[in-house]
Structure 1
Amino acid sequence: MAENNNEQNMSRGLKNRHVQLIALGGTIGTGLFLGAGKSIHLAGPSILLAYLIAGLACFFLMRALGELLLSNTSSVSFIDFINKYLGKKTGFVAGWTYLICWITIAMAEITAAGLYMQFWYPDLPIWVTALFLLVILFFMNSITVSAFGETEFWFAIIKVVAILVLIGVGVVLVAIHYKTPVGYASVSNITGGSFFPHGFKGFFMSFQMVVFSFVGVEMIGMTASETKDPEKIIPKCINDVPVRIILFYIGALVALMCIYPWSYVSPDSSPFVQVFQGIGIKSAAAIVNFVVLTAAASACNSAVFTTGRMLYSLTSESKNKFAKQFGTLSKRGLPSRAILACTLLIALSVILDVIMPEGVFEFISSVATTCFLFIWSLISVTHYKYRESLSVDETKALPFKMPLFPYSNFFIIAFMAMVAIVLLFSTSTLVALVGSVVWLIGMYIFASVKVK
């Protein structure tokens, strides 16, 4: 595989629909299809408000990210901006943390994909599904960037269609006042009782699952250098995607709670399965299993793409001969060696599933997702520093300004701090939060020695 020097630019093969669905599909996944039951159980109807607040924070986050990306559309990742405005040590910690986060998420999702396949083939070993899926995704990511975009486009379409079908079914059932095993489909299932049935405690405790449902929304920060006409596509994508995400989440949750009163939604299983089975669709479990299998494949696809670009970004200027191998591009303008290295790391999950106790692997995954609070906060602080570095005339000339600056930045930071505080009140999330703090402190100590 011939590699070129770093002067070569990355291939700009991502179209508008690719970027739209990459960001959209990256956030709509198992957090909604499997985890919504837990958040509904905690918050009741107020879960809708929780998603609106989190969605607003994500909208501001993406606007901040978009403004940074448009200031230099050749940047491989948002880590380049963190390096520039917050220093190389912080950039080093953020970059490697983000890389490990996505590697860990991919490991968890590739294992989940094997478990989902066992729904149909109980005797099929998990590693067979995991290995097969990884090989396919590796080749799709190694052909051209547009091949990745096209794969992710269709993965995302399946998830979007599933949500639209649920919303459509909800509208029809409410219109005909359909009788379910626990009552009738009606808007009064949401409006008829208390909006905060478990008080503000239940409302705030739901933010853990709500926020982590949005993990991946920042993936657009990895696409600018490979997007056709980024000055036009990036702003359009950023303005459209958060609104669509909020509508899909809110629409799906409203449909679920209109069909089934929130108090009957089980926190331990997929509410999609429960609702579809409740209205007489016998194959509901198989349908939802197919959708979550697609969601897992989509998450792995995104991880292979993201980690490959991040490893390339972190090593492209390295003086270490071994590390520099991953900081080169192929003739097609792809970081092929970095993609291969990250795919092999993800493949280690097959071995880890055997030798590592389940509790330890879950802990590592929880730490990784908790670290996204740190990454998102850094993006907001970086944007604030960037805007402060501009003159008045430069600020006026910006084509894509962050709304309500600097208050929107303060809102993002305050929101992330609130979620971190919420994590203190549950044993499992507290352990993950402490673990992520230990990881970050350790990385900063390492960066102090490594980065000059």
Structure 2
Amino acid sequence: MERYFPRRRGCPLSQPTMKRGLKNRHLQMIALGGAIGTGLFYGSTSTIALAGPSVMLAYLMGGIVIFFIMRMLGEMAVDEPVSGSFSYYASKYWGRFPGFLSGWNYWFNYVLVSMAELTAVGIYMNFWFPDLPQWLSALVCLVSITALNLVNVKAYGEAEFWMALIKIAAIVSMILLGLGLLFASGQPFPENLSNLWSNGGFLPHGIWGLLEATAVVMFSFGGIELIGITAGEAEDPDRTIPRAINQVIWRILIFYVGTMAVLMALWPWDQVGTQASPFVQIFENVGVPAAAHILNFVVLTAAVSVYNSAIYSNSRMLYGLAKEGEAPAFFLKLSAHGVPVRGILVSSGITLIVVALNYFLAGHIFLYLMMIATCAAVISWVTICVTHLLFRRRCAAEGRATRFRSPLYPWTNVLSLVFLAGVIFFMAQVPDMQLAVLFLPAWLLVLFVGYRCRRRQG
């Protein structure tokens, strides 16, 4: 079976190697791109409905925990910058099954994210072209981004740089424009600010609604850990990865908490509609129609950007799994430019499923994909927390100091694990999310069966 599953970390590679073509500016924007996507621009509709103005707290709490998890991953990635980092670290410090589970779960998670983003592309295109089939928009995006990723890693990085730049400029502009609208009357204390505590109060559905919203909010942060996947292709990872990760917390404060604060102040939370993006609708309601078209372009760019990163990360994860012997050697093949072409084509091909789903179930699948992807993301984050605990224990036993230490170890690990358990619990309390929670143990069982079959073949 070695023909299909090579030996772990020992199979000879008589082929091109991956290139370190991602520069510091690429990594900075990739870190931002992973944090700004459909979960914020479109998925925020459901979180606003659950929590009202207190959705700001939901993003803040979730963001702090994600920052802690990013620091854990960053410590391992700086110490050992490899492609497909999740699987490699879990396998080395925890065991073969956690390595297998984390790698294939992350790949599956990003397949779901890819499907959600392709669905969102169709939704945003319908804002301009109501009669355009969603499946057609999804197909055009899939083919274009797949072709881009087949070129080289620099092409991916450059495209992500510019798409992330568009998102950042738009959010900053939106916040400034929103503040301008709030203070347009010339009053030092704008009347609109009362929207933050009127219409049922700051916590219209109580603490319970806030905690349920926090569970949904976590989808917005899915993908932010992509910075760890880039370690194997980053120039000077010792410097660029810590810089990118340390900036995550203030980005969360500005892009998530700041944006929600402006949106909730501009318009009563219970009047935010569910068509297109809440960003687009609110700007239409305050009489800025041109801004609505600009913002629709931005949210479309955001969806394409996250799909771009999904194709990139999935191909690298399959490559990393193949190097560990946990995926077929078929995925070890690199192009002359160091691109895992087969991983890209297989990952992209599987997301074609969503094109069919959009044909038969247009308008109904986004929330389902979002919730299942959140469950898969929780598995990845739990794996990072536990693997980091074991990593630090190994380092202490060997007397080895790391260069980018996670703060407040091990308390942040414990806090993060408790928080993630709470996310699953509150997802189980929301009717629309219960199917995803039921899916979680079934998916873990599938992974375990797949692992046992792999061991028998090996």
TM-score with structure 1 setting the length: 0.90
* Range that drifts further, 359-368 or 384-393: 359-368
The aligned residue for residue 6 of structure 2 is none
Q: Select which of 431, 449, 452 maps to 2:453.
A: 449
Q: 1:146 aligns to what SS in structure 2?
A: helix
Write the letter of the residue equivalent to 2:430.
S
For residues 82-102 of structure 1, the C-alpha deviation after alignment (integer angstroms, 9 at most, x for no partner) is 111121112112211211221
- How far 1:270 moved relative to its partner? 2.9
Instruction: Check whether the contact 1:134–1:343 (CA below 8 A) recurs between aligned residues.
Output: yes
**Inter-partner Cα distance in structure 1 for 2:127 and 2:215:** 28
Q: How does 1:151-166 map to 2 (within 5 A)?
A: 151-166=159-174
Distance 2:203 2:170 in 1: 28
Q: What is the DSSP-based 3-state SS (H/G/I as helix, E as strand, rest coil) of the residue aligned with 1:223? A: helix
- Using the alignment, how far apart are the partners of 1:197 and 1:223 within structure 2? 41
**Superposition deviation, residue 365 in structure 1:** 5.2
Corresponding residue to 1:53 among 61, 76, 92: 61
Counterpart in 1 of 2:204?
A: 197
What is the CA deviation profile of residues 362-385 of structure 1, one whole-angstrom value per residue up to 9, with x for unaligned ones?
645532332111110110100010
1:104 and 1:151 mapped to 2: Cα distance? 22
Following the alignment from structure 1 to structure 2, what is the Cα–Cα distance between the partners of residues 178 and 277? 22
Relative to structure 1, the CA distance from residue 354 to residue 280 in structure 2 (aligned partners, 3 Å threshold; closer, same or farther) is closer
CA distance in 1, matches of 2:449, 2:326: 20
Which amino acid is the alignment partner of residue 297 of structure 2? F
Percent identity over the alignment is 41
> Does structure 1 residue 293 correspond to structure 2 residue 300?
yes
**Equivalent residue for 2:387, pick from 382, 390, 402:** 382
Instruction: Output the CA distance in 2 between the equivalents of 1:172 and 1:115.
Output: 29
The residue type paired with residue 154 of structure 1 is W
Shift of 1:150: 0.9
Q: CA deviation at 1:228?
A: 0.5
For 1:127 and 1:268, locate their aligned partners in 2 and report how far apart those are by CA, in whole Å. 18
- Say if 1:256 and 1:144 are closer, same or farther in 2 by CA, change over 3 A: same
Select the residue among 423, 437, 441 that pairs with 1:437: 441
Task: After superposing the two structures, state which structure 1 stretch, 98-107 or 39-48, moved more.
Answer: 39-48
1:207 matched to 2:214? The reply is yes
Does residue 334 in structure 1 map to residue 334 in structure 2?
no
TM-score (norm 2): 0.89
Question: Are 2:312 and 2:344, in contact at CA under 8 Å, matched by a contact in 1?
Answer: yes
In structure 2, what is the Cα distance between the partners aligned to 1:217 and 1:173?
31
Q: 2:36 aligns with which of 22, 28, 33?
A: 28
The one of 395, 403, 411 aligned to 2:407: 403
Tell me the amino acid that sits aligned with residue 135 of structure 1.
V
Which residues in structure 2 correspond to 1:2-21 (within 5 Å)?
5=13, 8-21=16-29
Q: Partner amino acid for 1:113?
A: V
Deviation at 1:361, TM superposition (A): 8.1
The farther-off stretch of 439-448 and 350-359 is: 350-359
Please give the per-residue CA displacement for 1:137-163, whole angstroms capped at 9, x wherever unaligned: 122212221110111111112221221
Matches within 5 A, 1:16-415: 16-177=24-185, 186-190=192-196, 194-266=201-273, 270-318=277-325, 323-354=328-359, 363=368, 366-391=371-396, 394=399, 397-415=401-419
AA paired with 1:329?
Answer: L
Which residue number in structure 2 is paired with residue 418 of structure 1? Answer: 422
| Unmatched segments (≥5 aa) in structure 1 | none
In the alignment of these two chains, the number of paired residues is: 443
How big is the shift at 1:6? 5.9
Mark the CA change 1:144 to 1:189 in structure 2 (over 3 Å): closer, same or farther. same
Change (3 A) 1:162 1:6: farther
Change (3 A) 1:262 1:130: closer
Structure 1's 7 and 404: CA in aligned 2 closer, same or farther, altered over 3 A? Answer: farther
CA RMSD of aligned residues (A): 2.6
Cα separation, partners in 2 of 1:186 and 1:358, compared to 1, 3 Å: closer
Q: CA offsets per residue over residues 94-138 of structure 1, 9 Å max, x none?
A: 211211221122123223323422333344443433333222212
Corresponding letter in the other structure for 1:428:
D
Distance, in Å, in 2 between the alignment partners of 1:445 and 1:96 is 13
For 2:5, the equivalent position in structure 1 comes to: none
SS of residue paired to 2:17: coil
Asked if the contact 1:67–1:400 (Cα under 8 Å) also holds between the matched residues in 2, the reply is yes
Structure 2 contact 242–404 (Cα < 8 Å) conserved: yes
The letter of the residue matching 2:416 is I
CA contact (8 A) 1:185 1:259 kept: no
Partners of 1:325 and 1:337 within 8 A in 2: yes
- 3-state SS of 2:287 partner: coil
